[in-house]
């Protein structure tokens, strides 16, 4: 079965449960879990009910899609992201994003926790993603291309929508979120980067480093969707401060900024 047929099969499983057509897909990163609670009249479909949907191996939330209304917009929220470091291949990692697009989403909002590579960034800052570096991980488009997703050689010169960036900039001001802008680099994980790698990434032009998002953005852009990416800087990346990195620190910072993160994304969705 090719990739498109796999996603279609997943689509069939969802369509057996709901005919809801979302306009906006939102992928929740660390710290944003609470956003799913704010979806009105939610229809929840667990990943185990969706054919071919990878099982999340990260502790905490089981994977699920939440359909409903958020700030007057029809949304689908992906809770429990699939990461490359869990052992899945990239086509599996992007299956949820492709599925949400086939379900109807025209706009995709990707959120994540990331390490600050830019030395002027502080923990708790938000970074609107202006561009990305994805060459350190395999492309999700590797393998036979199905034109029903998009063209074989898609242009990536503007992965992140400029109008959505302007909107997010405005909304960040409005909700008082400390906001920066910059380039997101996806590393493979699960180990955090070495200080030498972080220095190299900075020279390459990265402002933040994380273990998700860039490949999801490629898959959504391949399908012609408008993409907005927002990182929460949870820690200075390795070597930027003396402190060793820990998942605990990342989780704590994500939890602390959670309310502002939710407010920011809600504001963006409401004004779309
Ligand atoms: N590196 C990679 N991914 C991350 C980091 C980091 O420093 N912080 C949160 N996610």
Mean pLDDT of 188-214: 97
Mean pLDDT of 57-83: 89
**pLDDT reported for residue 256:** 85
Is residue 226 pLDDT above 80, yes or no? yes
Residue of 256 and 106 predicted with greater confidence? 106
CA angle 261, 267, 272 (to 5 degrees): 130
Is residue 244 pLDDT above 90, yes or no? no
**Is 197 a pocket residue for ligand 1 (Cβ < 6 Å)?**
no
What does the pLDDT look like over 248-267, one tens digit per residue? Answer: 888 888 888 889 999 999 99
| Residue ID of nearest Cα to ligand 1 atom 3 | 210
Is residue 207 pLDDT above 70, yes or no? yes
Rounded to the nearest integer, the mean pLDDT of the chain is 95
Q: What is the 191 CA–ligand 1 centroid distance (Å)?
A: 9
What does the pLDDT look like over 110-140, one tens digit per residue? Answer: 999 999 999 999 999 999 999 999 999 999 9
Q: What is the 237 CA–ligand 1 centroid distance (Å)?
A: 7
**pLDDT reported for residue 51:** 96
Contacts of 106 (CB under 8 A, 6+ apart): 23, 24, 225, 226
Please determine, looking at this structure, whether the domain spanning 3-270 carries the CATH number 3.40.50.720.
Answer: no
pLDDT band at 59 (very low <50, low <70, confident <90, very high): low
**Is 253 a pocket residue for ligand 1 (Cβ < 6 Å)?**
no
Is residue 176 pLDDT above 70, yes or no? yes
Buried b (16+ CB within 10 A) or exposed e, 185-221: bbbebeebbeeebbbebbeeebbbbbbbbbbbbbbbb
Is residue 60 pLDDT above 80, yes or no? no
Q: Which of 137, 193, 211 gets mutated to test ligand 1 (max ligand atoms within 8 A of its CB)?
A: 211
Closest ligand 1 atom to 112 CA: 10
Q: What is the 11 CA–ligand 1 centroid distance (Å)?
A: 32
Mean pLDDT of 18-29: 97
**pLDDT reported for residue 253:** 85
Q: What is the 231 CA–ligand 1 centroid distance (Å)?
A: 10
The CA distance from 118 to 124, in Å, is 14
């Amino acid at each position: 079965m090719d990739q498109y047929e796999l996603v279609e099969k997943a689509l069939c499983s969802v369509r057996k449960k709901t005919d809801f057509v979302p306009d906006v897909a939102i992928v929740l990163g660390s710290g944003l879990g609470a956003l799913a609670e704010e979806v009105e009249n939610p229809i929840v479909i667990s990943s185990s009910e969706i054919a071919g949907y990878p099982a999340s191996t990260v502790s905490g939330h089981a994977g699920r899609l939440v359909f409903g209304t958020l700030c007057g917009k029809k949304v689908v929220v992906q809770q429990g992201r699939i990461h490359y470091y869990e052992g899945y291949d990239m086509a599996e990692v992007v299956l949820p994003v492709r599925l949400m697009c086939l379900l109807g989403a025209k706009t995709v909002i990707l959120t994540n926790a990331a390490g600050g590579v830019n030395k002027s960034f502080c923990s708790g800052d938000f970074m609107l993603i202006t561009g990305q570096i994805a060459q350190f991980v395999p492309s999700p488009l590797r393998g036979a291309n199905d034109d029903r997703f998009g063209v074989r050689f898609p242009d990536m010169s503007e992965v992140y929508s400029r109008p959505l960036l302007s909107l997010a900039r405005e909304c960040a001001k409005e909700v008082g979120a400390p906001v920066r802008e910059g380039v997101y680099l996806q590393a493979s994980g699960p180990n955090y980067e070495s200080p030498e790698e972080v220095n190299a990434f900075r020279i390459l032009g990265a402002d933040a480093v994380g273990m998700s998002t860039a490949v999801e953005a490629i898959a959504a852009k391949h399908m012609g969707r408008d993409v907005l990416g927002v990182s929460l800087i949870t820690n200075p990346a390795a070597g930027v401060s003396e402190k060793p990195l820990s998942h605990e620190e990342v989780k704590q910072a994500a939890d602390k900024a959670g309310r502002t993160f939710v407010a920011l994304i809600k504001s963006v969705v409401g004004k779309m």
